[in-house]
A and B are shown apart, each in its own frame.
Chain A
Amino acid sequence: MGFKVKFAKNNNGYCYLPGQEIKIPRSALLRKGYMTESDNILTCRFRTTLALCGFIFLYALLCLRVTYVCLGKGVNIDTAIANEQIADDEVIHFKNPVKRADILDRNGEIIATSLPTVNLYANTKKIRNASDVAEKLNLIFPEISYEDFLKKLQRRGAFIYLKRNLSPAQQMQVNNLGIPGLEFEDCEKRIYPHKNLFAHVLGNTNIDNVGISGIEKNMDERLTTSTKPLYLSLDLGIQNTIRDALVEGVKQFHAEGAAAILMEAKTGQVIALTSVPDFDPNENLKVEDRAMFNFATKGVYEAGSVFKVFNTALCLESGKVKITDRFDTSKPVYFGKAKVTDPHGSHKMLTPEDILVESSNIGSTLEILKVGKEFQRKFLQSIHMDKELTAFELPETARPLFLSKQRWSNHTMATISYGYGISTTPLHIISAFSAVINGGIYHEPSLVYKKEHEGQRVVSVKTSENMRTLLRAVVTRGTGRRANVDGYQVMGKTGTADKLENGHYNHKKSISTFVSGFPESDPQYTLIVVMDDPKASKETYGYTTAGWNAVPITRNIITAIAPQLNVKADFDIEKQKSIVNAAYKK
């Protein structure tokens, strides 16, 4: 065999009994270089022992850990959060209890919010004495009659509304009655803290909190799918100043109504938009149709001479009219039987600047005759005078009355040059006016804060620059003189047009408009003020033209808002020094 077999006296020694299995140590075999088969029992024992030790070790470990945690030395939540050991989905994110998102102005001031309230309903199957319950409820809600409550309580049903939006005090009083069958349903009520101030912009919601007008309707999905507040480009303080000025103006001039829009000239962002009369959206009362009508975005009207701004811009842009050209306005212009005259009767040679300053219809007609109707139509289309501004975030917008190509005659071309024969909304006018003075880029108007719009060029930088000079002249020596606020280089154009009623012009009623921008050197803001049927008075010397009503209102507005908007006043430095010196001397 080549190796020695030791005999032992016993199993542990060297002696083997006859027939007993001779065990040769594996190590001896291995030392001699023989291959051996492993002993299964030994392997099994070895592995069992190993597993047992492992289990004991793990069990002991578990014990230690449990003891350690029990002694209060487990996971420290604060440290775990700080070390980001807790996954984001494990951290509870608390949600605002109200489902409809708040609406904020550009400075984060709440202008519409929702408050959690409850509705009271009856499960009439559980109510035994309906008349007694009706009597008790009538004491808590005196605005609802006993008969009404009784009628509702006598109906058979498990869910009959008795009163919506209870105050906490009312809820407690009903609870204290302890009547089975009177139950509450959680709900929320839309609140407008500033009442009438944003009525036409925000609109309203119905009793089920669904938007039915204004931003509430247009952005209903956004407001209900995300609780993040919606920021509007409006400014609470500015809106209030402008509304106050309009309300005062309507009172002073006994007008039917008024509207105003303030816009950032270089972005199209609306900072204030108001139309009076208005309504309090918190009250679910029936309001007059006129108060519900948003004239600023839906009032389609003939703007009159304000259109001369666009006429002059398009004529200069065409290159066929130069800023130095002169036009003979001494004679009327005839189109068949129709003739174009000047109400003021200037009867002299006018430059494009004079035409704007004196608001000459004849001058505007002569200008456009040099350019032609094709270019005029194309230009007006480029400044969106032919289409509804559907991208604007209010559902209350309107399509302008823009004649078809077939009906666009030479006479139409002439009347449109001074603002008749085309009807648009104040929103259309202010957007187009901003484009003319801001360097020539048209931006779609928007109410959502910081909504970006690339814009499209409609006039050249040079034309825009020229237009600013001309419009400044209207304020320094033209019909807009009363809007000349010192230091702010206001520019603008007035327009007064007879009101169109049932297809006929009513010469006793007019709509006056003043569209303005400031400052001339770097136009930042544009403002349109529209007065619907202002009346003549002693103060206006019997006039109802824009220069006597819309212009002074604009002056009041710009005087108040320009410092609020941080517009740098361009005063003469010597004049300023004299003011400071005077202050020192005091």
Chain B
Amino acid sequence: MRSIRMAMVILWLTLTLTVALGSSVLKNKVQILERRLTSINTNIQKDIESIHVLKAEWSHYNTPERLRTLAQNQLALENAKPEQIINYSALQFNYEDSHTSNSRVNHKGLTTLVKAVKR
């Protein structure tokens, strides 16, 4: 009887100690994770704020007026004129076919046209 009682006490003590130790380790780990989480949250919040400011800045740098000035200075492009927008049927090759079949011949026609327009 005594040995059983002893065994029971040891079992209970072992279990209690294990739970206590485990809880302590767990609490410590949770605290570390919580600190990490807070830090991550703060960083995310800061990043959201930075992205918001950057978006405003992006919008400021992309005003049509500024882009036009840059385009005029840096690119040889102009506004599309109505007569430059043409029907497929006005092309010298079948655009629909060239678009689907990847035929070299048809693409050659398209390349020629693009070059001609660029000139």
On A, residues with C-beta under 8 Å from B are 56, 59-60, 62-63, 66-67, 69-70, 92, 94, 96-98, 109-111, 113, 115-116, 191, 193-195, 197, 236-237, 240-241, 485-488, 559-560, 562-563, 568-569, 571, 573, 576-577, 579-581, 583-584, 586
Contact partners of A63 in chain B: CB under 8 A: 15, 18-19, 22
> What are the interface flags for B2-46 relative to A under an 8 Å C-beta threshold, 1 for contact and 0 otherwise?
000000000110010011001101100100000000000100110
Q: A60-B15, A577-B90, A580-B86 are in contact. Are A70 and B22 (CB under 8 A)?
A: yes
List the B residue with the shortest CB-CB distance to A95: B48
Cβ of A59: which chain B residues have Cβ within 8 Å of it?
A: 12, 15, 19
Given contacts A96-B48, A569-B83, contact A66 B23 (CB under 8 A): yes
Alpha-carbon gap, A325 to B11, bound state (A): 112
In the bound complex, residues from chain A placing their C-beta under 8 Å from that of B12 are 59
Secondary structure at the B interface, as helix, strand, loop or mixed, is helix
The answer to whether B90 and A576 have CB atoms under 8 Å apart is yes
Are B90 and A579 touching (Cβ within 8 A)? yes
CB<8 Å pairs between A and B, sample of 25: A56-B11, A62-B19, A63-B15, A66-B26, A67-B18, A97-B52, A110-B56, A110-B59, A113-B59, A116-B52, A193-B59, A486-B82, A487-B83, A559-B81, A563-B80, A563-B82, A568-B85, A569-B83, A571-B83, A571-B87, A576-B87, A576-B90, A579-B83, A580-B92, A583-B117
Residue B72 CB within 8 A of the other chain: no
For residue A206, give the distance in angstroms from its CB to the closest CB of chain B.
Answer: 20
A487 CA to B84 CA in the complex, in Å?
11
Question: What count of chain B residues pass the 8 Å CB interface test?
Answer: 44
Looking at chain A's contact residues, the main secondary structure is helix
What's the nearest-Cβ distance from chain B to residue A368, in Å? 38
Find chain B residues with CB under 8 A from A577 CB.
Answer: 90
A488 to B81, CA, bound (A): 12
The answer to whether B65 touches A94, judged by C-beta atoms less than 8 angstroms apart, is no
A69, A568, A579: the one contacting B26 at CB < 8 Å is: A69
What is the interface of chain B, defined by CB distance below 8 A to chain A? 11-12, 15, 18-19, 22-23, 25-26, 29, 41, 44-45, 48-49, 52-53, 55-56, 58-60, 62-65, 79-87, 89-92, 112-113, 116-117, 119
Contacts of A115 in B (CB 8 A): 52-53, 56
User: Is the beta-carbon distance between A97 and B45 smaller than 8 angstroms?
Assistant: yes
Which of B11, B62, B89, B117 touches A573 (beta carbons < 8 Å)?
B89
Closest-CB distance, B42 to chain A (whole angstroms): 11
A111 to B62, CA, bound (A): 11
- The interface residues of chain A lying within 8 Å CB-to-CB of B63 are 193-195, 197
Contacts of B55 in A (CB 8 A): 110, 113
User: Contacts A193-B63, A573-B90, A580-B90: A485 and B82 contacting too (C-beta < 8 A)?
Assistant: yes
